Structure 1
Amino acid sequence: MENKTGKYFKYALGEIVLVVIGILIALQINNWNENRKNKIAEADYYCRILDDFELNEKLIDESSKLIRNKIKICKELILDLNNIPNDRGEILNKFVLALRQDVFIPSTIAFEDITSSGQLKLLTDLELKNRLIQHSTFLNNISNLLQENRNVIINGMDSFELMTEFGYQDMDYLQRELDKEHIDLLPKNNWTNEPNNPIFLKFQDNLVTLIGMLIRQEQHLSNLKKEMQEPIRLLKEKECK
């Protein structure tokens, strides 16, 4: 009986050991699978973030090109305005092109996804992770500065109290909508040919202010593009395919 009890004890102990080993192996396999999934997810996020950066580079280049064209138009307008006699309708229609605000909206889908989902911990490259966080802050600051610039431009346009005196009705899209009987009822003002007219002076000042704000927009975008180069370099080292 003692021999049998000893054998049973050894057998039970062996079973326990096998179960424990099985559990440990299963846990190890599960951890390995989780780590593998995390590595795949991490690599995917790096590639998606890089795609956003490269898209933003293109958006910056396109926006900068539009800004340079608007600056060119404003400089031409100052000359046109002072080339008397001139046509108020032509000047204002040209002004609308320079005034149009093309808002720069960067793509941040991948980084917002990883932060909002609480998966930022998946990024194991601490240097790159910290750099991406810094870039996100920098990008928000640039976006705020661009918005402030747009507000200055809009406020300048709002400074013309009477838009009909300014000649808003001379702009192409309103000319196509308003009939002659409507136009005849509106104020007649030839301020673009009157250098001492307050509207003339204010408009000319607004053109100079607009040029200044456009230059600042271009500088902000240029600074953003420069700031992006280091995180782009770090992301490209991940060899996204």
Structure 2
Amino acid sequence: MISFFRKIRQKLLQENRITRYLIYALGEIILVTIGILIALQINTWNTNRLERIQEQTVLKQLKEEFESNLEQIDLKIALRDNIISSATEVLQYIDSKTEVSKDTLFQKMSPIVMAPTFDPIQNDILQSEKIQLIRNEQLRRVLANWPTYVTELKEQEEEWVKLYNNFTSPYLIEIGLSRDLNLYFYDNPKNLN
């Protein structure tokens, strides 16, 4: 192919047809440019295709991670609801001055010894450049804020644990209920689930 074009060029130069040679050279330049543009377009298409495949992989990993985190947080919410429900019942006993047995009272108070904490699975996708593969801008923004939400939740949990360790637990020890509450806590299967 190259020799064919070389022969045409040489023939035009030998015949002193400069105008035709320039037109031919211009045509050859246009042909090469079109070839380069087609190659670039194919390369861009292939790069985009590979990025979409990577995006799907990243989204699949994130989905699995967040489903696992959601399962964990649902469990923690249920535990906290149990603590709140039990504490509310104890407060109702106090407010209404209802007499209850020691066993009932300890059974209702036992969930307060729990300190359920959320420990999410976090992989390096959110901190890496892979997050840029996600085309959905809103999703990318929410994912970028996820570590902040987790940090805020952990800070709230730490406050709860400090409150329990600094005030509730010492008070329960002081009035002699700590050991019994712990025994009731571990005897109740609902607390251990």
Shared topology, TM-score over 0.5?
Answer: yes
The answer to whether the aligner puts 1:153 opposite 2:164 as a matched pair is yes
- Cα deviation, 1:8-51, whole Å, max 9, x if unaligned, reads 43443333222211111111111111111222222332332222
Greater Cα radius of gyration, structure 1 or 2? 2
Shift of 1:59: 0.5
Q: Distance in 1 between matches of 2:139 and 2:81?
A: 33
Secondary structure class of the residue paired with 2:175: helix
Counterpart of 1:105 in structure 2 is: 119
| TM-superposed deviation, 1:138 | 2.8
Tell me the residue number matched to 2:57: 44
Moved more, 25-34 or 129-138: 129-138
For residue 173 of structure 1, what is the aligned residue in structure 2?
none
TM-score, normalised with respect to structure 1: 0.48
1:144 pairs with one of 147, 152, 155: 155
Superposed, 1:1-241 pairs within 5 Å as 1=14, 3-67=16-80, 99=113, 101-109=115-123, 112-113=124-125, 115-156=126-167, 159=170, 199-200=174-175
For 2:137, give the aligned amino acid. Answer: L
Deviation at residue 68 of structure 1 after TM alignment: 5.1
Considering Cα pairs closer than 8 Å and 6+ residues apart, tell me whether 1 or 2 has the greater RCO: 1
Rounded to whole Å, the distance in 1 between the matches of 2:15 and 2:165 is 98
Aligned residues: 153
User: What letter corresponds to residue 23 of structure 1 in structure 2?
Assistant: I
- Partner amino acid for 1:20? T
CA distance in 1: counterparts of 2:142 and 2:82, whole angstroms: 33
151-160 or 50-59: bigger deviation: 151-160
Letter in 2 for 1:22: G
CA distance in 2 between counterparts of 1:5 and 1:128 reads: 61
Structure 2 unaligned blocks of 5 or more: 1-13, 91-99, 182-193
Identical pairs, percent: 30
For normalisation by structure 2, the TM-score amounts to 0.58
1:217-240 superposed Cα distances (whole Å, 9 cap, x missing partner): xxxxxxxxxxxxxxxxxxxxxxxx
